């Protein structure tokens, strides 16, 4: 692999003008050492850097690239939309089509409001939950990342966890005083929280499959329990499906597990790689939003035609279910292959997967929550990351991020990845 001289030069320049040289912290490679490469092109299942090196990509722009990079159907849709105007600030037909697709795909969603990021979606859903219930407190779980919303940036995952800073400076205590933080998969902790604060709890927000502290699954019956206890206390259950929405199936994690939340948050896949967010739910709740109700939410670029065109193209391509069947099988093959590679090398790992999402924890016990995830050997993961990168395989530059497979991956790509892992695992 050629030296990354051009990427290094770009990073040196970026450090002069951009904090940390990056516009999102986990990109900086701080958790694994070294400096990031700079991407100049991505197509299908690969990404190419400024020095001409090509990598098989399992980050997939952190989830949206379910069809692969630059799929023709999305590129054509964006080009066509751009020719008619990049932004209107006026209602446009693509917004209506997007809303129709989301509502028809996700049974719990009767109405949906578009915004510009997952952070905006969760922030708005929290405000709406408080406005609807007229209560102040929110329960969230350790390791569940809901964007950089002040009140939710407590024991969060994603970049904050990667950098060893589960909390953030600049967030006054008053902003988080209404947030109750509990361990994930802990039924008793939730019961105790409702026993102490039930009449004041507006709702619970969670990633139904936490994918920002690596990836771990809800225990059997856990999501059902959360549905029951929130309903019993007239609180709302909010699913943050920014990661899992339209990734684990058309109805997301809620469809996969058979749970009906009151509100749901979306992003990533529904934008086809462009900035996007959305939140939706029961009609009576959504009708509390302005202009019909007292809960204010707005955005100049919300529902912009480029993001809507890209998202509509993706959702229409996913409609027949064939993509999900393919990436589910590839996900299973990859996890099985990585497990064999680790076992043959005598390296302790936990391969945790659902659908096309997975995580390889360097841990000798299953991971069910953030405390378990934090026991992982981060130094060993860093060596694994760089070994795979040298072999032309790009995985997330953090032990605490999920990986993604796209429809552009194939059996040969998976085979190449497993072959690289066999050699890298031996070297650990």
Q: How far, in Å, CA of 271 to CA of 259, rounded?
A: 24
Cite the active site residues: 145, 240, 268
Q: Taking the alpha carbons of 217, 323, 67, 79 in that order, is the dihedral positive or negative?
A: negative
Q: Give CATH 3.40.640.10 domain extents, the chain.
A: 72-318
Strand order from edge to edge, sheet including 39-43:
39-43, 46-49, 54-57, 393-394
What is the per-residue pLDDT for 157? 52
Q: How far, in Å, CA of 95 to CA of 101, rounded?
A: 10
What is the per-residue pLDDT for 147? 87
What is the per-residue pLDDT for 167? 63
Count other C-beta atoms under 10 Å from residue 291's C-beta.
Answer: 6
Q: Give CATH 3.90.1150.10 domain extents, the chain.
A: 5-69+321-427
- The residue that leads in pLDDT, 26 or 422, is 422
Structure tokens at 312: 């509509």
Q: What is the mean pLDDT of residues 331-337?
A: 98
Hunting for tokens 């630059």 — which residue is that?
Answer: 70
Predicted confidence band of residue 174 (pLDDT cuts 50, 70, 90)? confident
Q: How deeply is 75 buried, as exposed, middle or buried, from its count of CB atoms within 10 A (0-12, 13-18, 19+)?
A: middle
* pLDDT above 50 for 162: no
Structure tokens at 243: 């990661």
* pLDDT above 60 for 165: no
Contact 164, 100 (CB under 8 A): no
Structure tokens at 75: 């590129």
Q: Taking the alpha carbons of 243, 179, 181, 150 in that order, is the dihedral positive or negative?
A: positive
Structure tokens at 235: 């609180």
Q: Of 70-74, 144-148, 356-360, which gets the smallest average pLDDT? A: 144-148
What's the CATH code, domain 5-69+321-427? 3.90.1150.10
Region of 21 on the Ramachandran plot (φ > 0 left; ψ -120 to 50 alpha; else beta): left
What is the per-residue pLDDT for 2? 55
Confidence (pTM): 0.94
* pLDDT above 50 for 354: yes
Q: Of 130-134, 170-174, 184-188, 238-242, which gets the smallest average pLDDT? A: 170-174
* pLDDT above 70 for 155: no
What's the CATH code, domain 72-318? 3.40.640.10
| DSSP three-state, residue 5 | helix
Percentage of the chain modeled with pLDDT above 70: 96
What is the per-residue pLDDT for 152? 74
Alpha helical stretches, state H, 25-178: 72-83, 93-105, 118-133, 158-162, 173-176
Q: What is the mean pLDDT of residues 358-375?
A: 96
What is the per-residue pLDDT for 161? 41
Q: What is the mean pLDDT of residues 180-201?
A: 96
pLDDT tens per residue, range 19-76? 999 999 889 999 999 999 999 999 999 999 999 999 999 999 999 999 999 999 999 9
- The residue that leads in pLDDT, 397 or 156, is 397
């Amino acid at each position: 692999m050629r030296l990354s001289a051009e990427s290094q030069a770009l990073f040196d320049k970026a450090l002069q003008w951009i904090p940390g040289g990056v516009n999102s912290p986990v990109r900086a490679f701080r958790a694994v050492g070294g400096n990031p490469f700079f991407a100049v092109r991505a197509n299908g299942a690969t990404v190419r850097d400024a020095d001409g090196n090509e990598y098989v990509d399992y980050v997939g722009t952190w989830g949206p690239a379910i069809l692969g990079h630059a799929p023709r159907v999305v590129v054509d849709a964006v080009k066509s939309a751009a020719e008619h105007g990049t932004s209107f600030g006026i209602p446009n037909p693509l917004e209506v089509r997007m809303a129709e697709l989301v509502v028809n795909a996700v049974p719990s969603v009767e109405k949906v409001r578009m915004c510009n990021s997952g952070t905006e979606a969760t922030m708005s859903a929290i405000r709406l939950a408080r406005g609807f219930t007229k209560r102040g407190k929110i329960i969230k779980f350790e390791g569940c990342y809901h964007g950089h919303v002040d009140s939710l940036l407590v024991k969060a995952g994603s970049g904050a966890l990667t950098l060893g800073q589960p909390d953030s400076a600049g967030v006054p205590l008053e902003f988080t005083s209404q947030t109750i933080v509990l361990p994930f998969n802990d039924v008793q902790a939730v019961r105790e929280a409702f026993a102490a604060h039930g009449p004041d709890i507006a709702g619970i927000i969670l990633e139904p499959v936490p994918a920002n502290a690596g990836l771990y699954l809800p225990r059997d019956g856990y999501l059902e329990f959360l549905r029951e206890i929130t309903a019993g206390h007239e609180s709302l259950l909010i699913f943050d499906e920014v990661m899992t929405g339209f990734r684990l199936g058309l109805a997301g994690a809620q469809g996969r597990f058979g749970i009906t939340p009151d509100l749901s948050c979306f992003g990533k896949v529904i934008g086809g790689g462009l900035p996007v967010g959305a939140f939706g739910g029961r009609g009576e709740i959504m009708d509390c939003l302005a202009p019909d109700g007292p809960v204010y939410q707005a955005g100049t670029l919300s529902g912009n035609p480029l993001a809507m065109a890209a998202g509509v193209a993706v959702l229409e391509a996913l409609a027949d279910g064939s993509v999900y069947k393919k990436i589910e099988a590839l996900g299973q093959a990859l996890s099985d292959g990585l497990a064999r590679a680790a076992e043959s090398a005598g390296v302790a790992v936990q391969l945790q997967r659902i659908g096309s999402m997975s995580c390889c924890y360097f841990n000798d016990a299953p991971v069910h929550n953030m405390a378990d995830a934090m026991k992982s050997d981060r130094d060993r993961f860093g060596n694994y990351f760089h070994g795979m990168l040298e072999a032309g395989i790009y995985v997330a530059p953090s032990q605490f991020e999920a990986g993604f497979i796209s429809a552009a991956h194939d059996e040969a790509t998976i085979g190449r990845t497993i072959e690289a892992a066999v050699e890298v695992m031996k070297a650990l």
